[in-house]
Amino acid sequence: MRTTTNGRFDIPLYTTAEAARFLGVPTSTFATWAKGYVRRPPGHPAVIGEPIVSSVRAERGYPTVPFVGLAEAMIVAAFRRAGVSLQHIRRAVGIIQREIGLDHALASERLYTDGAIILFDYAESEHDRELSGLTEVASRQRVFAPVIEDYLKRIEYAGDGWAERLVSPATDQPVVVVDPARSFGQPVFMHGGVRVEDVLDRWRAGEPLSEVAEDFGVPPEDVEDILRVALPTAA
């Protein structure tokens, strides 16, 4: 049960392409997570994959992903980064949702506090070697593997226990953040506080990167980091 939403669950803020760019994953990959898929291999029954992150229906080109969907997708991206297949991720999401007893459990702080124990115990009991790669034992505690922990450290939770601020995992250093309470939830530079798109628009117009960065008060290296991850997916 949720005690509050503050628009984090209900208002679509990002297109599939925007959400994918923030996470540093291909747009087609994010679309599979948010919309599911149907595959029809020749001579075999259709294979249907249900969505595993929250989204809403909208006309083409309009936002479909609420903030909570982006938070959920950040965990899915972490699981994929750890080398877990989408099939096993679906299983892990189902286990977490059932054991935590919450919808949108991937966006809940309880994932951080309880998720590793839940997945570790399940992987041990079922001898699931793939899911076991998500967790480990450190100082006699069952914790998430370092790659998962790195993503979780980029999520801040509100007093209600739900994610409220995400730092993009697309760059090694923390450079860009989204917060539904700032700039209508659009990505902004952590240093400078300006929208990423406003900076990139000036650069696309042909202005030198150094001048754009100075005008907006953004470190040039931060703009360079974003250009490296934004340009391949801009199309």
pLDDT of residue 1: 45
What CA–CA distance (Å, rounded) separates 68 from 220?
31
CA distance 49 to 39: 8
Quick one: pLDDT at residue 37?
82
Whether the CB-CB separation of 42 and 52 falls below 8 Å is answered with no
Average pLDDT over residues 40-57: 85
Q: Using a pLDDT cut of 70, give the percent of the chain over it.
A: 95
| Confidence label for 5 from pLDDT (cuts 50, 70 and 90) | low
Residue pair 209/224 in contact by the 8 Å Cβ criterion: yes
Helix (H) or strand (E) holding 224: helix 220-230
**Which ranges of the chain does DSSP label H, i.e. alpha helix?**
16-23, 27-35, 67-81, 86-100, 109-126, 129-132, 146-152, 196-204, 209-216, 220-230
Residue 162 DSSP class: B
Tell me which of 46-55, 98-107, 128-137, 213-222 is least confident: 46-55
For residues 110 and 106, give the distance between their C-alpha atoms in angstroms, rounded to a whole number: 8
Residue 173: which H helix or E strand, with range?
Answer: none
Output the CA torsion 115→116→118→122 (10° steps): 140
| Sequence-ordered list of residues with C-beta below 8 angstroms from that of 64, at least 6 positions apart, any chain | 12, 14, 15, 16, 34, 55, 56, 57, 58
Give the pLDDT score at 230.
75
- For residue 49, what is the DSSP state? E
Report whether 195 contacts 144 (CB < 8 A).
no
Burial 159-188 (b: 16+ CB within 10 A, else e): eebbbbbbbbbbbeeebbbbbbeebebbbb
- pLDDT over 80 (residue 234): no
Q: Using 50, 70 and 90 to split pLDDT, how confident is the model at 70?
A: very high
The domain locations on the chain are: 12-186
Count the alpha carbons within 13 Å of 109 in the hemisphere toward its beta carbon.
11
Tokens encoding 179: 């917060």
pLDDT average, residue stretch 218-227: 95
Per-residue DSSP letter, 195: B
- The upper half-sphere exposure of residue 120, i.e. CA atoms within 13 Å in the direction of its Cβ, equals 16
155-193 pLDDT tens trace: 999 999 999 999 999 999 999 999 999 999 999 999 999
pLDDT at residue number 47: 75
